[in-house]
Amino acid sequence: MASLQLMPSPVPNPEIKYTKIFINNEWQDSVSGKVFPVYNPATGEQICEVQEADKADVDKAVQAARLAFSLGSVWRRMDASERGRLLSKLADLVERDSVYLATIESLDSGKPFLPTLFVDLQGTIKTLRYFAGYADKIHGTSIPMDGEYLTFTRYEPIGVCGQIIPWNFPLMMTAWKLGPALACGNTVVLKPAEQTPLTCLYIAALIKEAGFPPGVINILPGFGPTAGAAIASHMGIDKVAFTGSTEVGKLIQEAAGKSNLKRVTLELGGKNPNIIFADADLDLAVEQAHQGVFFNAGQCCTAGSRIYVEEPIYDEFVRRSVERAKRRIVGSPFDPTTEQGPQISCEQQNRVLEFIQSGISEGAKLECGGKALGLKGFFIEPTVFSNVRDDMRIAREEIFGPVQQIMKFKTIEEVIERANNSDYGLVAAVFTNDINKAMTISTAMQAGTVWINCFNALSTQCPFGGYKMSGNGRELGENGLKEYSEVKTITMKMVAKNS
Amino acid sequence: MLRTVLSRVSTRLSRLSVCHYSAAAIPAPNTQPDVQYNKLFINNQWKDAISGKTFPTINPATGEVICQVAEADEADVEVAVKAARNAFALGSPWRRMDASHRGLLLNRLADAIERDSAYLAELETLDNGKPYAISYAVDLPTVVKCLRYYGGWADKWEGKTIPIDGDYFCYTRHEPIGVCGQIIPWNFPLLMLAWKLGPALATGNTVVLKTAEQTPLTALYVASLIKEVGFPEGVVNILSGMGPTAGAAIARHMDVDKVAFTGSTEVGHLIQQASGSSNLKKVTLELGGKSPNIILSDANMEDAVEQSHFALFFNQGQCCCAGSRTYVQADIYDEFVERSAERAKRRVVGDPFDLKTEQGPQVDQEQFNKILGYISSGKREGAKLMCGGGVAADRGYFIQPTVFGDVQDNMVIAREEIFGPVMQILKFKTLEEVVTRANDTKYGLAAAVFTKDIDKANYVSNALRAGTVWINCYDVFGAQAPFGGYKASGNGRELGEYGLDNYTEVKTVTIKVPQKNS
């Protein structure tokens, strides 16, 4: 405990510097004059008000982004390596201000401060640096085409990219979106979630400080049905990238189809299976399964929310998981001993509590937790259900809260079928010491990421995304760049081709 | 890119002479920079040579000794290789390091070099003789960009997973080769250091690097920065020494896994033979050239003359890719020769620390003598001396910018690499003829063609057997673009993604699985 005194502390009474709309490197009020409140989910109190972007503001932003993208503009004429330098500088600035950013992120989202500093901030910085390094390494090819031709491909930026990000990892999601888009030379209109606009707006100030030309990145705080929908259906936006619920993902795809067939990438929900075999290292599996579902108060698209445990170790696994859940420290995000902060909002908290009720009424066994915690803020007790059947709502639908479902299985063929029996397909995990089981499960899972003897092992080098209704396309890694490029084939008549 | 930076520099230079208070980007240099490091750098420590021997490094502008430097021999190479081998052991800090962290260290090294670039440029100019304006505005920024480029590759160099026949899961790993010997030349000391360290360290190798004996100083200062930014000990070891002793010891060492050499074709042969007679270490070579620069009659004359001048005379003519055979189409030949001679006469030769200087001294006495010998042979064999042809100053190794017209393909000056400020201009009639003549050489490093015609540009660039072909430009380099030689100009490519291949061993891993599914 003494070592906690050596840990960095949050900024006391942090000033909220930026609450306006960021277009063309300038701070602007909303066209309508409307503002909206931003809350501290640990207390339920209002932090401040922020300018609310709507369709008129989106139009302005798109115009700015389109101008910044025009042929001959500073951004289009810039060396790719220089785009990389700007991203690198942005990463350095985020690193410089990381304690402040972690403080605001905790305040706005309820995430515990120290994990935010060590995980979210580091992830943000590393992602920006990774894509900074890629900017001048996006290669087309020269092609041995039939006929008297010289042919090659150029990987060009798509153009103006709309990006809509969620509230569960505000800073990291900003980096995941800006990194590849800017490395490839696009311009951006980005809408942060209405619950968590503050760190994104601070990043806007750093974007200007780093030296990005005006109009390259525009940040519009606002709501989904207004600003978000305006982006998805805008005729002047060439691509939309959305991370959020599957429900809204479907709306985005529809809007793209109805408007200008803009390219769509989606990172949506999950109901991710975590398969524990009897030969697994039990301590490791219990802890990883615990963190896998409870991390970020359960508010992860990757939450391992269906834990399939092989029959021989089932009872012991449940016992240890319950004991671990009871030990999970729920408290103020700024208390350095806190493991779990509040849910993001009253609405989310109610939704989770409603799922818990359905679990009870559908006959799952409530092993611990189950109730809201405290009088202020949106806290929920770490909750564990055992004897969960696959057809229960808590086993089929994404809860997005601190609720763990543990199921029993007998054979490997059975668990593969049950794990894949979902409209989702984001991640999966398997815990086993047997190489054959590991290879079989990892090949069989219909999931974009499979973890073997680990969970939530994410890194900016690795492509991430969903099968089925968990999404379209991949983020991060080299694959992430493909989604932000248009390939142009150039074929030139040659006088006499030679190999 | 070199060319663009250079034209910015020459604009600055001409502005400087007119307007004293203009915001010159090039700071006034300290003409007597301190030498802070002159020992061997092994295991992040400074050591004397085991033999105690030192050798002098000379300032080529004056012929005077700058200082003594520790001289590595076989015994020191042995110690360095052991250090590099230890640093490469399974479980070592370097082997356990995240690839992204290797990249971060390379980026930090770039930042530190950028921070100290004024000093490094002074030291480079003192030791090599290249004009300070160029060291500062061209060499240093290019070094920084190269290291940043490879810093970015470290965690992006991916193997594949492969749909092999049978019930197997198959993938490749891109692993470092191991201990890499690197031997670099004197013409771009810092830049050659960056070209070698960048890809080797990005991919996770450890290095024993020998600098050229003419120019040991800047690499030793960079060694101190390597330690400062946090590379683990033994990852980079830098030895000053001679080719026949330290260089040969590296090339034949039984525990060096790979050798990369940049230098003359003559020594390149020796390196390859040494590999064959020792442990078959992997070999990459960047050697000499006699690069053809082809000017068609529809080229923009003014542009072609200036670029061709730059192509030959840059860096005192001491470039492996110098455009040292300028082929000019018959109908513009006379005018081209006249204009080229006029431009060469205007070339400012002088003290490298003077910001107005375009051309400094040759790097040493040996080169100086060799170049004067080639000039004599040109005169003897009947080439027409248009300007220059002699020594340019009383002390130091300065040679007048020299232009020969009416050069024939069979003359020595048209066949052999001169590596000095001596331009050969040859006449041709047809495209087919010039392509044949251009390719008629044992070398194949670079080439260029100047024309507005799209078909001619494509035809010539496809037909030339050279590793780099420039169209309407010359000496354009980028860290992103591979560079290397056909034929006796070398093996392998440096820079770009291709540059990583030379520092990688590919391991295929095949795992039996109970049942393969696609």
- For every residue of B457-515, DSSP letters joined together read HHHHHHH---SEEEES-SS---TTS-B--SGGGEES-BSTTHHHHTTEEEEEEEEE-SS
**What are φ and ψ of residue B197, in 5° steps?**
-70, -40
- Alpha-carbon gap, residue B450 to B472, rounded angstroms: 5
- Contact (CB<8Å) A497/B511: no
- Contact (CB<8Å) B152/A443: no
The one catalytic residue in B286, B358, B417, B494 is B286
**pLDDT for residue B19:** 31
**pLDDT for residue B10:** 47
- Contact (CB<8Å) B462/A497: yes
| Domain edges within chain B | 40-287+493-505, 292-479
Check: CB of residue A55 under 8 Å from CB of residue A17. Answer: no
Chain B: give the shortest CA distance to residue A248, in Å: 32
Nearest to A134 among B148, B156, B462 (CB): B156
Q: Higher pLDDT residue, A24 or B11? A: A24
**pLDDT for residue A496:** 81
- Contact (CB<8Å) A443/B459: no
CB pairs under 8 A between A and B: 80
Residue A32: Cβ-neighbour burial (10 angstroms; 0-12, 13-18, 19+): middle
- Indicate which residues of A carry an active-site annotation: 267
Q: Which tens digit of pLDDT belongs to each residue from B240-296?
A: 999 999 999 999 999 999 999 999 999 999 999 999 999 999 999 999 999 999 999
- Alpha-carbon gap, residue B43 to A447, rounded angstroms: 46
**Would you say the CATH fold of B292-479 matches that of B40-287+493-505?**
no
Amino acid letter for position B70: A
Q: Which residues of A touch B513 (CB under 8 A)?
A: 436, 439-440, 443
The model's confidence at residue B402, banded by pLDDT at 50, 70 and 90, is very high
Is the CB of B156 inside 8 Å of chain A's CB atoms? yes
Beta strand extents in B296-401 (DSSP E only): 325-329, 384-387
What value does the mean pLDDT take over residues B283-310?
98
Q: Distance of alpha carbon A326 from its chain centroid, rounded?
A: 28
The model's confidence at residue B121, banded by pLDDT at 50, 70 and 90, is very high
**pLDDT for residue A375:** 84
Q: Which tens digit of pLDDT belongs to each residue from B184-236?
A: 999 999 999 999 999 999 999 999 999 999 999 999 999 999 999 999 999 99
Chain B: give the shortest CA distance to residue A80, in Å: 10
Please enumerate in sequence order all residues whose Cβ is within 8 A of that of B163, keeping only pairs 6 or more positions apart, or say none. Answer: B170, B518
Nearest to B100 among A130, A439, A444 (CB): A130
Closest C-alpha to A348, from A110, A115, A165 = A110
Closest C-alpha to B240, from B69, B418, B109 = B69
- Contact (CB<8Å) A495/B458: yes
B292-479 has CATH 3.40.309.10 classification: yes
Which stretches of B264-329 are DSSP H helices? 265-277, 301-313
Please enumerate in sequence order all residues whose Cβ is within 8 A of that of A476, keeping only pairs 6 or more positions apart, or say none. Answer: A127, A130, A176, A180, A458, A459, A460, A461, A462, A463, A464
In chain B, which residue's Cα lies nearest the Cα of A137? B480
- Alpha-carbon gap, residue B252 to B271, rounded angstroms: 8
Tell me how far CA of residue A341 lies from CA of A119, A234, A245, in angstroms: 15, 37, 21
**What are φ and ψ of residue A93, in 5° steps?**
-70, -40
- How does the average pLDDT of chain B come out, rounded? 95
Q: Which tens digit of pLDDT belongs to each residue from B142-182?
A: 999 999 999 999 999 999 999 999 999 999 999 999 999 99
Q: Is the pLDDT of residue B90 over 90?
A: yes
Structure tokens, A86: 């700007």
User: Considering just the CA atoms, what is the radius of gyration of chain A in Å?
Assistant: 24
- Contact (CB<8Å) B455/A137: no
Which of B 96-155 lie inside 8 A of A, CB atoms?
99-100, 103-104, 107, 145, 148-149, 151-155
- Contact (CB<8Å) A440/B513: yes
The model's confidence at residue B18, banded by pLDDT at 50, 70 and 90, is very low
**Ordered per-residue pLDDT tens for chain A, 499 residues:** 556 667 899 999 999 999 999 999 999 999 999 999 999 999 999 999 999 999 999 999 999 999 999 999 999 999 999 999 999 999 999 999 999 999 999 999 999 999 999 999 999 999 999 999 999 999 999 999 999 999 999 999 999 999 999 999 999 999 999 999 999 999 999 999 999 999 999 999 999 999 999 999 999 999 999 999 999 999 999 999 999 999 999 999 999 999 999 999 999 999 999 999 999 999 999 999 999 999 999 999 999 999 999 999 999 999 999 999 999 999 999 999 999 999 999 999 999 999 999 999 999 999 999 999 988 999 999 999 999 999 999 999 999 999 999 999 999 999 999 999 999 999 999 999 999 999 999 999 999 999 999 999 999 999 999 999 999 999 999 999 999 999 999 999 988 888 8
- Contact (CB<8Å) A495/B169: no
Please enumerate in sequence order all residues whose Cβ is within 8 A of that of A390, keeping only pairs 6 or more positions apart, or say none. Answer: A396, A407, A418, A421
Chain A: give the shortest CA distance to residue B157, in Å: 10
Q: Which residues of B touch A496 (CB under 8 A)?
A: 459
- Contact (CB<8Å) A133/B152: yes
The number of CA neighbours under 13 Å toward the Cβ of A138 is 32
Q: Which residues of A touch B478 (CB under 8 A)?
A: 81, 136
Q: Is the pLDDT of residue B4 over 50?
A: no
The model's confidence at residue B25, banded by pLDDT at 50, 70 and 90, is confident
What value does the mean pLDDT take over residues B484-491?
96
Tell me how far CA of residue B96 lies from CA of B90, B100, B105, B505, in angstroms: 8, 12, 14, 17
- Alpha-carbon gap, residue A250 to A469, rounded angstroms: 9
Q: Which residues of A touch B459 (CB under 8 A)?
A: 494-496
Residue B161: Cβ-neighbour burial (10 angstroms; 0-12, 13-18, 19+): exposed
ipTM summary value: 0.88
Chain A: give the shortest CA distance to residue B514, in Å: 6
Any catalytic annotation for residue B366? no
Q: Which residues of A touch B99 (CB under 8 A)?
A: 461
- CATH number of the domain located at residue range(s) B40-287+493-505 in this protein: 3.40.605.10
Q: Which residues of B touch A84 (CB under 8 A)?
A: 148, 152
- Contact (CB<8Å) B458/A134: no
